[in-house]
Every structure is written in structure tokens, then in C-alpha cells.
């Protein structure tokens, strides 16, 4: 049973994904898949072809320069997504095929934006108050809160994702509280496997 885990930037998707992993679930991180692809020679060649040498420094991809370019407007972001998303999707499909009878959890930030709901038996939205999420993201990425807000505006609002998801996890409290929510949800998902 493939579970899609989504939410807004800074809401704690990676933390919740790790909790599912700690509880024995196979897990897939789209962010980690993208990071691996940004080291792939074929992907690097495509990035050089599309974005030029301005996103490279001494022959090495400058991820900060790439982020500055793609978050500057819809055109560059669409080009980057066209390079990366089909490859991430292929890895996700392979992951799902490897775990057909387990509660396998995949973190997919743009799950609803890219209309991937049909891939998943259930969807889960990780959420917290917007200002909390923006501060978390800004601190983790070394950007300003205003830059975090600008990047968040490129995604669906978290309230929309909450409404569309089958399940919700509130990450605004202590880690122990979040873990309890994950444990309760996992029990529920395992029951669904037995019933299917």
C-alpha cells in the first residue's frame, strides 16, 4: 500500500517520513531522489544545456545559483521540473513495485500540484501554522523568511492540501506528540491492508 506524504514547505514532512521509517515502513524521499539526480552526469549535462554555465562554479553545480534562478520565475522552474520530475517519478514507481504489500510511505511535496493522487492508496498532509513553517524553512535553508514565503507561494496553500488529503498530521507540537500521531495512523493503515 503506497502512501503519499505531502504538506507545505517547513511543515516537517521529512521528520514524519523518518518516523514512519523508524516504525519499520519502507520510505521514499523525493527530496533525496532530487539530490541524487543533481549528481547524475546525464542530468548535469541537461542542466548545463538549459541553464548554461551560470549555475556552475569551477565545473561543479552551484545549487544556490540554480535555486536563485528557478525561484526567480515560472519559466526556469518549469524547465528544471521537466528535467527532474520524470526521473523522480520513475524512481517512485520502482519503489512502489518493490513494496506491494507493505505500508510504504513516499514523501512527495508536489503530490497535489502534479495531480499524482491516483498513484497512492492514501494521502497524508503534514501541517503546522504558516509562520512556524516559514521560520523552520528559512532556518533550515539559510534564507530569509520573506524568501521562504515567496517559495511557498509556488505551491498550493497548506489548507487546501489538508482538505484534499485523506489523513492529516499536525506537526506544530512536540516531537513526541507528532510520533504518537504517526503511530496511530500507521495502525489504521495496517488495518486497511488486512481488510483489502
Structural domain includes residue 128? yes
The torsion region of residue 15 among left (phi > 0), alpha (psi -120 to 50) and beta comes to alpha
In the predicted structure, residue 192 carries a pLDDT above the cut 80: yes
Residue 194 shares a structural domain with residue 123: yes
* Long-range contacts of residues 83-89, Cβ cutoff 8 Å, at least 24 apart: 83/43, 83/46, 83/47, 83/50, 84/34, 84/37, 84/43, 85/114, 87/33, 87/37, 87/43, 88/30, 88/33, 88/34, 88/37, 89/116
Instruction: Please report the pLDDT score of residue 72 as a whole number.
Output: 73
Structural domain includes residue 196? yes
In the predicted structure, residue 123 carries a pLDDT above the cut 70: yes
Q: Cα–Cα distance between 15 and 3 in angstroms, integer?
A: 16
Q: What band does 196 get if pLDDT is binned at 50, 70 and 90? A: low
In the predicted structure, residue 71 carries a pLDDT above the cut 80: no
Q: What band does 104 get if pLDDT is binned at 50, 70 and 90? A: very high
Number of domains in the chain: 2
Residue 118 shares a structural domain with residue 143: yes
Structural domain includes residue 32? no
Instruction: Please report the pLDDT score of residue 195 as a whole number.
Output: 76
Structural domain includes residue 31? no
Residue 63 shares a structural domain with residue 152: no
Parent domain of 43: 39-98
73 versus 167: the higher-pLDDT residue is 167
Amino acid at each position: 500500500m503506497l502512501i503519499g506524504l505531502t504538506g507545505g514547505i517547513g511543515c516537517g514532512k521529512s521528520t514524519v517520513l523518518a518516523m514512519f521509517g523508524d516504525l519499520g515502513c519502507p520510505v521514499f524521499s523525493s527530496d533525496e531522489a532530487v539530490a541524487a539526480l543533481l549528481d547524475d552526469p546525464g542530468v548535469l549535462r541537461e542542466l548545463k544545456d538549459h541553464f548554461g554555465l551560470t549555475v556552475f562554479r569551477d565545473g561543479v553545480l552551484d545549487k544556490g545559483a540554480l535555486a536563485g534562478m528557478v525561484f526567480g520565475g515560472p519559466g526556469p522552474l518549469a524547465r528544471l521540473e521537466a528535467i527532474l520530475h520524470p526521473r523522480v517519478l520513475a524512481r517512485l514507481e520502482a519503489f512502489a513495485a518493490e513494496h506491494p504489500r507493505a505500508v510504504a510511505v513516499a514523501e512527495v511535496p508536489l503530490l497535489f500540484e502534479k495531480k499524482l493522487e491516483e498513484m497512492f492508496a492514501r494521502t497524508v498532509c503534514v501541517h503546522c501554522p504558516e509562520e512556524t513553517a516559514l521560520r523552520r524553512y528559512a532556518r533550515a535553508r539559510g534564507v530569509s523568511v520573506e524568501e521562504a514565503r515567496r517559495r511557498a507561494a509556488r505551491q498550493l496553500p497548506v489548507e487546501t492540501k489538508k482538505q484534499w488529503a485523506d489523513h492529516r498530521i499536525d506537526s506544530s507540537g512536540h516531537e513526541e506528540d507528532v510520533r504518537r500521531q504517526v503511530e496511530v495512523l500507521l495502525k489504521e493503515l495496517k488495518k486497511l491492508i488486512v481488510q483489502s
